[in-house]
Structure 1
Amino acid sequence: MPRPPFRSAIAALVSAFLAGPAPADVQRPLDERATGRLVAEAIAEADPRLKVTFGATQATLTATRPDGRSHAFRLDEIHAQLRTAPNGATRSTLLDDYVAKELAIMDELAGGTAATGLQVLNAFDPEALLPILRPANSDASWQIPEASHLGFAGGLFILWIQDRTLQVGSFRMTPAPLSAHEARSLNLDKLDLQRLGLANLEGRLDRVTQAWDGRFLTLSLDGRFGSSLMLLPRYWQAMAQDAQVLTAAIPQDDALIVIANASAAELSELRRRITRSADAAGVRPLSTDLFRWTGSDWQVLPP
């Protein structure tokens, strides 16, 4: 015999009460600061003993255990995932999974079960070394200019990373850029890093994607290295043939916008595109400058 409607409603309420509160949907973060706050709240909920501190611009954060051991949380990947997730429930799952994974890595490192720095260096793959551009005021400690890093126009620095994943305990992670100490341990100086990284980057030119929007060309490479194309002089020498004057902007890691023989109005539009591109991705611009190709290198175009 069918259950009376009011009894069905009561049963549903009791069932919902016993099941506990449903996980709250996570709102799409507007920028990296918002992602950092979401991660900090999730860490506090998962383990109230941890002390969370933010970097200078809240684009990175560190969780510290009562015994003083700490773990740095890289927010770029989770930020991109939260920005592109289709709904709040998916974002909630992504956030919980990310924090659980990072805290597990933190525990493995504290327990001595994760891969050591020496093991990471032993897994170094010269063919996976690639350059990335970073602003000098980046939060993470590995982005501080040091012996293994090279300067670039506009206050940017060239860092070197392995574009691969490594096994860390029971997890797979993307290595951070090489520090000067790690480079010395591998017997690599700045010239070695430059030679290897740029040769590997040139080897990927057949994977560059181009997207035209009127006279503006956006270049991307493997989701992360579009801006790194700025470091290949021969690439731009070929593009600038017929005496074209090239101007470029790099709003994101994988978005390099180029225009030839730009008018004053087009230069203004290029500056606006820096903001629009970064805002759409929810990140700070990699650089707010425009760069002019001189025939041999890039120089910052005066405002």
Structure 2
Amino acid sequence: MSKVYPSDLTAEQFAFLSTRFFLDTSDGAPRGRPRTTSLWAILNAIFYVLCEGCTWRGLPGDFPPWQTVYTYFRRWKKDGTLLAIHDELYVLSRLVEGRSNSPSELIVDSQSVKTATMIADEVGYDGAKRVKGRKRHLTIDTLGLVLRVLVTAADVPEREGGKRVLQKVKQMGATVRRVHTVWVDGGYDGAPFYQWAIDTLRWVIWVVLRPEAAQGFVLLKKRWKVERTFGWFNRYRRLSKDYEVLPETSEAFIYLAMIRIMVRRLA
């Protein structure tokens, strides 16, 4: 019997997720040899890497071979499966909370994280945070759920990263049809950014600044919610640093973390 790990999906969670997670081809007709590896074991192995932060080669021996697990992860990342499932669970999560499937307000912020020593591509230095690594540009709704994330070098300015991630959000179509306001911090301040948002997205930018006289922790309107989401990432050791060669892989692990959060709420 395989060992049970805290990161494993329960039977109910797997039943809820499995029908959404796998099709051999776009038309649904399987090709090639039948799959012999358990999909449940594959998903548990991927979530183990996410939660425990180990390398693919470091997977315990009671999971399928790491090459097989990584092949599935890479395929789902490249063909859009992870993003499609994330978006479906996002809508379901809002409906369960009694909300419309489309938010009306968004919050944008960024988080600079160090990269592992062997990572060289898309790495920069964030002078404000004094961090050499990459920057996660995050867009969430007022529930703290992620809509889109963009990972860049840490020296990419907030306004540039904000534009790029909001363009990705705009491409979500009907899911963001009700959006009218985007809350940001002082790093996004400036008339050119405001005008770009109005002209390109038809959304209004609201900047929430920390009071100059304030000392210590201050709860800032709307902005505290994105800090809570960044806090959720601390539960996943693979996100404690950026260990990925490609920024797209970093984004995929963030979507995976949100999939795990949402499936635990839904099932």
TM-score when scaled to structure 1?
0.26
- The structure whose RCO (Cα within 8 Å, separation 6+) is larger is 2
